[in-house]
Structure 1
């Protein structure tokens, strides 16, 4: 990933929120256009590339914010490593989006095949296929948020390691932090090291597989890391 300019003069948290909202609006528009002519698995598969591009763009913007978190506060600091090495995401955007889209396409086709024909004109409850469509919208929203914050953490970690800066975990203090995230708030690690799995009352012994020492600790997690000298 490369660092690009994002003309949003806000705090990093506000920038990431804005990226989330923009990505969600684009994703929902893509899905709505896909099913406008009829809901089917083929219609969902047809927008795989567009959805991948939307999430990839959002992740790139998240990466830029994560890099700026370090670079804006480290002016004049010399790199301790010759070459900047970018920490890869736990899983790629492409494989994550493909997994969701292909799974939903199968579910929608199966739901349509199992639906009984509507012989009444009275309002009916949502069909199984529409239920799957709503679930798809939520899954894509969660995936986009998760990849944005994975990319932001990757950038912050990579640039902090390059400049020899320690990292501190920052949990969103909006009253919605889970037990895992709350237990991580304020923890620090030396430059180039990742965070160990939290151990605290109420924290599950086995965490989400996508957590590999950097935020997010779970899908939709909005924790961040910030550099410390």
Structure 2
């Protein structure tokens, strides 16, 4: 095999896609093992630590991809004058996982017993339906954390190096009004993105959006460092 025959290294988007798949598989395995003996709220509460660990690993992978993206884009750039510090995620992994698990445990117990649990009213859903809903929520949370971490890492290094950031929206025909409106928008070093205004943009955006991708859960947008433009 010659050098030209070697496969091209995965793109950041492909790496993020792989991180999503791995997280979904790991979460599914943890949940399946927990409820093998029965779908109960207690079974979910018992795996909070395992679910936190899996979601943390997903976020760490996102951070690594965001860091790699920043390093590639900033090759040859001199270190900026400002001190480096890591941008925190909008909300902690631990708190978000606990909130999702506790809510799902209460819903499953309400479905099993036919009695309200923890303030959660009884619904027509069965424990199996609630479990499937819980697994989807956990996967969505992991995906969101992957992309929050990737953007936070890219932003941290771009700010340190004094580089602009450009919002990149995945062009799959499903971009929401916010993401479509931000695609291609650039901000200066250390700045964050301001959501667009206009038709289709909700007045109140997702609380997890604090100026960096993702703009909503399951959002696959990212930001890319660019050479700083002359400022007038």
Note whether the superposition's TM-score is higher than 0.5: yes
Instruction: Name stretches of at least 5 consecutive residues in structure 1 with no aligned partner.
Output: 1-7, 116-125
For residues 108 and 216 of structure 2, the distance between their equivalents in structure 1, rounded to whole angstroms, comes to 26
Q: Secondary structure of 1:207's partner? A: coil
Pair 1:79-2:79 in alignment = yes
Q: Secondary structure of 1:158's partner? A: helix
Per the TM alignment, residue 22 of structure 1 is displaced from its structure 2 partner at its CA by: 0.4
Q: What is the aligned length?
A: 212
Q: Is the 8 A contact 1:183 1:200 kept in 2?
A: no
Aligned to 1:214: 212
Aligned to 2:51: 51
For residues 216 and 157 of structure 1, the distance between their equivalents in structure 2, rounded to whole angstroms, comes to 13
For residues 107 and 32 of structure 1, the distance between their equivalents in structure 2, rounded to whole angstroms, comes to 18
- TM-score in terms of structure 1 length: 0.89
Instruction: Name stretches of at least 5 consecutive residues in structure 2 with no aligned partner.
Output: 1-7, 116-123, 228-232
Q: Secondary structure of 1:72's partner? A: helix
1:108-187 to structure 2, matched below 5 A, reads: 108-114=108-114, 128-187=126-185
For residues 32 and 99 of structure 2, the distance between their equivalents in structure 1, rounded to whole angstroms, comes to 20
Per the TM alignment, residue 83 of structure 1 is displaced from its structure 2 partner at its CA by: 2.6
Aligned to 1:198: 196
Residues 194-214 of structure 1: per-residue CA shift (max 9 Å, x gap): 011221211111100000000
Q: Secondary structure of 2:136's partner? A: helix
RMSD of aligned alpha carbons: 1.4
Aligned to 1:121: none
For residues 161 and 179 of structure 1, the distance between their equivalents in structure 2, rounded to whole angstroms, comes to 27
For residues 76 and 18 of structure 1, the distance between their equivalents in structure 2, rounded to whole angstroms, comes to 29
Q: Secondary structure of 2:191's partner? A: coil
Aligned to 2:29: 29
